[in-house]
């Protein structure tokens, strides 16, 4: 029987589950003109959940027979998963309203996806890992297919679904191997048994499938094929979600499966991650150069950034994991800002999809051009912006772990990356706006304020990044 | 005054001051100009406040501020100036005023953004010279690129996009290897503190690798031959103010980096590769001098002249290592001081020459040398200044150009008469291209009716050029106070290298 304590440890998750169900029911009774009630309720729920997560802390308490672990890493990732969901809600409302997609299910799905991500990053058992991942993925498929009349959106959803189901299958297959070798599904137990199993090669065999599954979720080359199509086809509001929440969750997934479960096989997976990181950095950065479509460009840039995250994970040290979590949190903030501006630029019947749509933005709306420029310079890793410190930390931990060659691959490809980020800045600042498209951007007040704060955070966190780093290091006991 | 955090103020006044300038918006350009000038003057006044309390008898860091920035990585917000950086800080704040004044009428498009970019650059450059923590140094070093990128890209000439992308990517390319080297040093020492890194004793192999990583960053910044190719493009396309900042201050950051990082942290590798650096410097002096001779574009000519003159700076820095090997500490000190004086002097002269070209360009809208002629008759005041700066560029005694070149050549003579001979070529070639330029532009018959209609310089332009002239003459006639300020610091550095 679950004890009270179990429920208390999982209180944020239970709350979110109940609130999402209530929200779904409540929305059924609202008229479309009252949809903003759903909107603000969803944001309120997210904020309360953040508060619950923070008040629970990251003390390492477990629940339901160690199915669920509440540790420091889970705390950080949950806070930023929820924060990203709140940002997605705020940024998307005008965009969805203009397209007739502003439906209550959007918010319900976002909340359920967040729940999936929270369960995933807190999982203490292989079954829990899989359940959390599936909840997150199923919500994501539905979100990608949300614009059901659009052929592109549906195509993207089908691609995503099929490839993701394949990756899920791989992951499950790997888990079954590990279960076969160790006779346990509990991550900590597997970790303890792993060094003395009768068939170690079975474990390594399973490990390969785990790594493939993780790489798919992160969008690491060569498991990245779904990413550009989904970014391109899905409504931008959903892309903002896809580029933040699942990425945060995937880092948690990687830590749970690789370190907590297969930590004794670090030598094996370290090399796999290092090679995947190098391939991802090269493919992501080089292919991004050729993209005229800004969503596809950002998709390839995501692939490159996840390569950087792998740099931290491949170090396989507490400082390395902390750097990876720091990086992915930073990436989520930068991506949210970039997609926020893209959605701001889009109007009813017009998607700001091409980089050339940003022409002369500095003359139209200097402030939002500035926010976009900050996001681009930060993604490129130019100090004093936030993105630089994330790169610094993963490079430091990779070099510390003896992966100097990988660090050099990373920095050389980041020069290539610099080019396409600068191109966006160039278009915004050095080109004149097209005829007839020179009016300033119109935006709702909440969107304007939150997006501005998001942009300023990229500078602010560039100066005061110590607390976040300390939090990440503390979570991994480094 | 002593208890004020002067260096922090120096960095943050222009950085924060850029915000109200930016907030003024495009509608009120005059307000943006005045605000920017006020901030620039305030920064300059603050930098002058350093002088009375500066103890020139000490080679140690002064006005030190040390706060923990990131505890987990042992990164400090650690600032300080010694004799080497003090003059460069003053050069930066001084130049910024003149750049703001110089842009008063010329920049009419998005004035507030231009002025804010200049102020941001100012703050970041001061930060580079004051940072005593290598990570802090790197942050300022890279942050400079953003405002410069925007300056060239928005207000530049027809090929500005190409030039500014080339500038940004080139310099970024150089500095990322520097970052890797810093991370390596951090893992060795457990700190980014520059003084600690300088006292780290590394093996020769490690030093050699690090030396080339540093070289990438600083050689591109200086720039040395053969990685100078971004500079002519950037200069030609940049607006006048951008060129002045680039030539007067930004190039000096390369020389400063060589002294602070390459020499002081990697003395063994610096000695080992001193010959390489000397050869590259001599190639820059002679070959780039000849390249300057054949330019048709005035800005390009001065840009190549900059590369050639900066060759003397790197020569002065690395000749020191040869001299120290021979046990000639006195000449070594002379070489380093010469390099420093040459940097300051080149800051004034190149800034002034780019301003002169800006003055001509504003009137005739071309930088082709052939389009001009006989300005002495049309613009006598302007011609006076131009000839004076040209003479300084040649290295005429009594101007600042002479002092630095003489010191460096004298020091290299102690190392090898051959090096001195080649270095002295700079005087001849420099005289060649500069005097020929002056002959074609200033003297001779008035070239065309458009030239004949050129008005002489306004009071504002005269003030800018006059201030430059004052600095050039002051350093040329009384070099003692300038070298005296840095003597103790350079002596300490030389003692550290022995």
CB nearest to B183's CB, from A384, A395, A415: A395
Q: Sort out which chain A residues have CB atoms less than 8 A from B184's CB and list them.
A: 399
User: What confidence score (pLDDT) does residue B2 get?
Assistant: 56
Label residues A29-47 b or e (16+ Cβ within 10 Å = b): eeeeeebeebbebbbebbe
Read off the pLDDT band of B160 (50, 70, 90). confident
Out of B73, B110, B172, closest to residue A415 by CB: B172
Please enumerate residues of B whose Cβ is less than 8 A from a Cβ of A: 26, 69-73, 110, 113, 135, 138-139, 142-143, 145-146, 149-150, 153-154, 160-161, 164-165, 168-169, 172-173, 176-177, 179-180, 183-184, 186-187
Q: What is the pLDDT of residues B108-132, one digit of tens each?
A: 888 889 999 999 999 999 999 999 9
Mean pLDDT over each residue of chain A, to the nearest integer = 90
Q: Which DSSP string do the residues of B316-327 spell out, in sequence order?
A: HHHHHHHHHHTT
Taking contacts as CB-CB distances below 8 angstroms, the residues of chain B near A396 are 73, 183, 186-187
The CA distance from B148 to B234, in Å, is: 10
Q: Testing the interface with B: which of A326, A396, A406, A427 to mutate, by most B Cβ within 10 A?
A: A396
Interface test with A, best of B179, B186, B206, B210 (most A CBs within 10 A): B179
Q: What is the pLDDT of residues B357-386, one digit of tens each?
A: 988 888 888 888 888 888 888 888 888 998
- Euclidean distance between CA atoms A215 and A277, whole angstroms: 10
The Cα A373–Cα A386 span in angstroms is: 13
Identify which of A399, A415, A426 has the shortest CB distance to residue B184.
A399
CA distance B139 to chain A (A): 5
Query: Rounded distance, CA B321 to CA B262, Å?
Result: 11
**Percent of the residues in chain A that have a pLDDT greater than 90, as a whole number:** 60
The helix/strand/coil state of A218 is helix
Confidence of residue A390 (pLDDT cuts 50, 70, 90): very high
pLDDT of residue B328: 83
| Cis peptide upstream of residue B253 (ω within 30 degrees of 0) | no
Of residues B165, B179, B180, nearest to A422 (C-beta): B165
**Most confident option among A42-46, B101-105, B227-231:** A42-46
Distance CA(A382)–CA(A388), nearest Å, equals 5
Closest-CA residue of A relative to B173 is A415
**Mean pLDDT of all residues in B210-218:** 91
Share of chain B above pLDDT 90, in %: 23
What is the Cα–Cα distance from A453 to B468, expressed in whole angstroms? 43
Residues in chain B with CB shorter than 8 Å from the CB of A365 are none
CA A173, distance to chain mean position in Å, is 24
**C-alpha distance from A258 to closest chain B C-alpha (Å):** 25
What distance in Å separates residue B176's CA from the closest CA in chain A? 7
User: Which one of B139, B155, B184 makes the best mutation probe of the A interface by having the most chain A beta carbons within 10 Å?
Assistant: B139
Q: Which of A377, A392, A400 sits opposite B146 (nearest CB)?
A: A377
The upper half-sphere exposure of residue B177, i.e. CA atoms within 13 Å in the direction of its Cβ, equals 17
Query: What pLDDT sits at residue A15?
Result: 95
Between CA B424 and CA B74 the distance in angstroms is: 47
pLDDT tens-place string over residues B30-78: 888 899 999 999 999 999 888 888 888 887 888 888 888 888 888 999 9
pLDDT tens-digit series, residues A248-305: 999 999 999 998 888 888 888 999 999 999 999 999 999 999 888 999 999 999 999 9
CB A309 within 8 A of CB A324: yes
Name the band, by pLDDT with cuts 50, 70 and 90, for residue B141.
Answer: very high
Q: What is the CA radius of gyration of chain B?
A: 21
Residues of B in Cβ contact (< 8 Å) with A388: 139, 142
CB contact under 8 A, B168 and A411: no
Q: Do A383 and B69 touch (CB under 8 A)?
A: no
**Rounded to 5°, angle at Cα B159 from B158 and B165:** 140
- Decide if A341 contacts A371 (C-beta within 8 A): yes
Q: What is the mean pLDDT of chain B?
A: 88
C-alpha distances in angstroms, B497 versus B315, B321, B341, B490? 17, 8, 20, 10
How far does A466 lie from chain B, in Å, by closest CA? 5
φ, ψ dihedrals at B199, nearest 5°? -95, 10
Pairwise CB contact (< 8 Å): A466 & B183: no
| Contact criterion met (CB below 8 Å) for B319 and B411 | yes
Contact of A184 with A151, CB cutoff 8 Å: no
CB contact under 8 A, A383 and B186: no
C-beta contacts of A356-359 below 8 A and 24+ residues apart? A356/A292, A356/A427, A357/A294, A358/A294, A358/A424, A358/A427, A358/A428, A359/A427, A359/A428, A359/A431, A359/A432, A359/A433, A359/A434, A359/A437
C-alpha–C-alpha distance, residues B395 and B431, integer Å: 8
Q: What is the dihedral of CA A131, A135, A137, A142, to 10 degrees?
A: 150
- CA A209, A215, A218: angle at the middle one, nearest 5? 145
**CA quadruple A433, A435, A440, A442: dihedral sign:** negative
How far apart, in whole angstroms, are the C-alpha atoms of residue B315 and residue B280? 9
**Contact criterion met (CB below 8 Å) for B288 and B311:** yes
Residue A436 has pLDDT above 80, yes or no: no
With 70 as the cut, is the pLDDT of residue A225 above it?
yes
Query: Which residues 395-414 of chain A have a CB within 8 Å of chain B?
Result: 395-396, 399-400, 404, 407-408, 411-412, 414
pLDDT digit string, tens, across residues A299-352: 999 999 999 999 999 998 999 999 999 999 999 999 999 999 998 888 766 777
Chain B residue at shortest CA distance from A417: B169
Q: Which residues of A touch B165 (CB under 8 A)?
A: 419, 422, 426
Say if residue B1's pLDDT is above 70: no
The pLDDT confidence band at residue A1, using thresholds 50, 70 and 90, is: low
Q: Using CA atoms, how far apart are residues B395 and B411, in angstroms rounded to an integer?
A: 17
Give me the sign of the Cα torsion angle B330, B331, B335, B338: positive
What are the tokens at B156?
């530049």
Per-residue pLDDT at B488 exceeds 90: no
A250 and A117 Cβ atoms separated by less than 8 Å = no
Q: Predicted confidence band at A31 (pLDDT cuts at 50, 70, 90)?
A: confident
Contact A291, A297 (CB under 8 A): yes
CB-based contact A419 B165, cutoff 8 Å: yes
Cβ contact B212:B161 at 8 Å: no
Residue A407 and residue A399 in contact, taking contact as beta carbons nearer than 8 Å: yes
**The residue to which tokens 């070093």 are assigned:** B141
pLDDT of B3 over the 80 cut:
no
Q: Kindly list the residues from chain B whose CB atom is less than 8 angstroms away from the CB atom of residue A469.
A: 70, 72-73
Number of residue pairs across A and B with CB atoms under 8 Å?
80
CB contact under 8 A, B180 and A407: yes
A220 contacts chain B (CB < 8 A): no
Non-local CB neighbours of A405 within 8 Å, separated by 6+ positions: none
- In the three-class reduction of DSSP (H, G, I as helix; E, B as strand; rest coil), residue B476 is classed as helix
* CA pseudo-torsion sign B76, B77, B81, B85: positive
How far off is chain B from A311, nearest CA to CA, in Å? Answer: 14
Cβ separation of B187 and A411 shorter than 8 Å? no
- Does residue B97 contact residue B103 with C-beta atoms inside 8 Å? no
How close does chain A come to B153, measured CA to CA in Å?
A: 6
Q: According to DSSP H, which parts of B326-416 are helical?
A: 329-364, 375-378, 380-394, 400-415
Contact criterion met (CB < 8 Å) for B142 and A382: yes
B276-320 pLDDT, tens per residue?
Answer: 999 999 999 889 989 988 888 888 999 999 999 999 999 999 988
Which letter does DSSP use for residue B62 in this model?
E
> pTM here?
0.92
Q: Which residues of B touch A382 (CB under 8 A)?
A: 142-143, 145-146, 172
User: Does A159 reach chain B within 8 Å, measured CB to CB?
Assistant: no
Q: How confident is the model at residue B89 (pLDDT cuts 50, 70, 90)?
A: very high
Residues in chain A: 478
The tens digit of pLDDT for each residue in A130-189 reads: 999 999 999 999 999 988 888 888 999 999 999 999 999 999 999 999 999 998 999 999
Q: Distance, in angstroms, between B250 CA and closest chain A CA? A: 17
Highest mean pLDDT: which of A165-174, B3-12, B157-166, B323-332? A165-174
Residue B91 has pLDDT above 70, yes or no: yes
> What residues of A are in contact with residue B168 (Cβ under 8 Å)?
418, 422
DSSP B398: T
């Amino acid at each position: 029987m679950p004890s009270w304590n179990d429920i208390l440890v999982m209180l944020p998750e239970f709350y979110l589950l109940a609130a999402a169900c209530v929200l779904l029911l409540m929305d059924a009774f609202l008229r479309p003109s009252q949809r903003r009630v759903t909107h603000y309720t969803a944001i309120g729920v997210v904020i309360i959940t953040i508060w619950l997560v923070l008040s629970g802390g990251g003390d390492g308490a477990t629940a339901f027979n160690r199915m669920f672990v509440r540790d420091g890493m889970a705390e950080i990732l949950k806070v930023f998963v929820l924060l990203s969901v709140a940002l997605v809600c705020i940024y998307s409302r005008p965009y969805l309203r203009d397209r007739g997609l502003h439906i209550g299910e959007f918010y319900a799905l976002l909340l359920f996806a967040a729940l999936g991500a929270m369960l995933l990053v807190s999982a203490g058992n292989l079954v829990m890992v899989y359940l959390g991942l599936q909840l997150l993925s199923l919500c994501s498929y539905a979100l990608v297919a949300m614009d059901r009349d659009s052929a592109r959106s549906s195509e993207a959803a089908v691609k995503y679904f099929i490839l993701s189901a394949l990756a899920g299958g791989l992951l499950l297959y790997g888990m079954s191997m590990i279960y076969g070798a160790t006779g346990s599904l509990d991550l900590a137990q597997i970790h303890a048994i792993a060094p003395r199993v009768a068939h170690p090669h079975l474990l390594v065999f399973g490990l390969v499938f785990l790594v493939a599954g993780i790489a798919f979720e992160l969008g690491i080359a060569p498991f990245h094929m779904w990413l550009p199509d989904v970014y391109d086809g899905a409504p931008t509001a959903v892309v903002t979600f896809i580029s933040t929440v699942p990425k945060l969750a995937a880092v948690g997934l990687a830590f749970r499966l690789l370190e907590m479960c297969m930590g004794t096989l670090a030598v094996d997976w370290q090399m796999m991650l290092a090679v995947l990181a190098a391939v991802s950095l090269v493919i992501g950065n080089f292919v991004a150069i050729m993209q005229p479509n800004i969503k596809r460009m950002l998709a390839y840039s995501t692939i490159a950034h996840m390569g950087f995250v792998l740099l931290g994970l491949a170090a396989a040290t507490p400082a390395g994991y902390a750097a990876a979590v720091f990086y992915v949190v930073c990436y989520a903030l930068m991506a949210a800002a970039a997609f926020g501006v893209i959605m701001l630029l889009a109007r009813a019947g017009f998607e700001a999809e091409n980089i050339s749509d940003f022409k002369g933005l500095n003359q139209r709306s200097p402030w939002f051009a500035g926010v976009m420029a900050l996001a681009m310079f930060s993604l490129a890793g130019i100090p004093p912006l936030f993105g630089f410190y994330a790169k610094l930390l993963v490079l430091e931990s990779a070099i510390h772990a003896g992966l100097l060659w990988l660090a050099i691959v990373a920095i050389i490809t980041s020069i290539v990356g610099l080019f396409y980020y600068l191109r966006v800045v160039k278009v915004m600042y050095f080109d004149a706006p097209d005829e007839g498209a020179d009016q300033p951007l119109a935006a709702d007040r909440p969107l304007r304020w939150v997006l501005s704060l998001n942009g300023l955070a990229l500078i602010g966190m560039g100066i005061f990044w110590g607390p976040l780093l300390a939090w990440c290091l503390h979570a991994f006991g480094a | 005054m002593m208890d004020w955090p002067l260096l922090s103020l120096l960095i943050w006044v222009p950085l924060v001051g850029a915000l109200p300038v930016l907030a003024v918006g495009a509608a009120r350009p005059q307000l943006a100009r005045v605000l920017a000038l006020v901030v620039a003057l305030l920064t300059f006044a603050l930098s002058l406040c350093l002088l009375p309390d500066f103890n020139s008898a000490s080679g140690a860091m002064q006005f030190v501020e040390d706060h923990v920035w990131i505890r987990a990585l042992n990164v400090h917000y650690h600032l300080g100036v010694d004799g080497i950086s003090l003059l460069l800080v003053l050069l930066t704040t001084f130049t910024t005023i003149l750049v703001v004044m110089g842009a008063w009428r010329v920049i009419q498009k998005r004035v507030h953004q231009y002025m804010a970019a200049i102020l941001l650059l100012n703050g970041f450059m001061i930060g580079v010279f004051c940072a005593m923590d290598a990570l802090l140094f790197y942050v300022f070093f890279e942050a400079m690129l953003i405002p410069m990128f925007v300056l060239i890209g928005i207000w530049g000439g027809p090929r500005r996009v190409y030039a500014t992308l080339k500038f940004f990517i080139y310099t970024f390319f150089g500095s990322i290897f520097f970052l890797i080297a810093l991370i390596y040093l951090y893992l060795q020492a457990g700190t980014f503190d520059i003084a600690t890194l300088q006292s780290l004793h590394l093996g020769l192999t490690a030093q050699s690798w690090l030396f080339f990583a540093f070289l990438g960053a600083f050689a591109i910044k200086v720039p040395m031959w053969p990685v100078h190719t971004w500079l002519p493009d950037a200069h030609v396309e940049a607006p006048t103010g951008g060129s002045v900042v680039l030539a007067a201050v930004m190039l000096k950051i390369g020389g400063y980096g060589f002294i602070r990082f390459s020499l002081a942290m990697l003395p063994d590798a610096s000695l080992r590769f001193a010959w390489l650096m000397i050869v590259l410097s001599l190639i820059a002096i002679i070959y780039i001098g000849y390249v300057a001779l054949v330019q048709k574009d005035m800005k390009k000519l001065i840009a190549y002249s900059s590369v050639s003159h900066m060759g003397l700076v790197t020569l002065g820095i690395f000749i020191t290592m040869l001299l120290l090997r021979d046990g000639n500490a006195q000449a070594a000190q002379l070489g380093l001081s010469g390099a420093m004086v040459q940097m300051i002097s080149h800051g004034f002269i190149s800034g002034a020459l780019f301003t002169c070209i800006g003055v001509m360009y504003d009137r005739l809208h071309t930088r082709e040398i052939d389009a001009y002629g006989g300005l002495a008759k049309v613009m006598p005041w302007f011609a006076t200044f131009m000839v004076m700066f040209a003479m300084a560029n040649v290295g005429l005694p009594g101007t600042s150009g002479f002092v630095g070149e003489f010191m460096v050549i004298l020091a290299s003579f102690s190392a090898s008469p051959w090096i001195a001979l080649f270095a002295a070529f700079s005087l001849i070639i420099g005289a060649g291209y500069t005097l020929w330029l002056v002959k074609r532009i200033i003297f001779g018959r008035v070239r065309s009716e458009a030239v004949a209609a050129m008005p002489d310089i306004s009071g504002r332009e005269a003030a800018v050029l006059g201030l430059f002239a004052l600095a050039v003459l002051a350093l040329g006639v009384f070099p003692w106070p300038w070298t005296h300020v840095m003597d103790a610091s350079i002596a300490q550095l030389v003692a550290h290298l022995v």
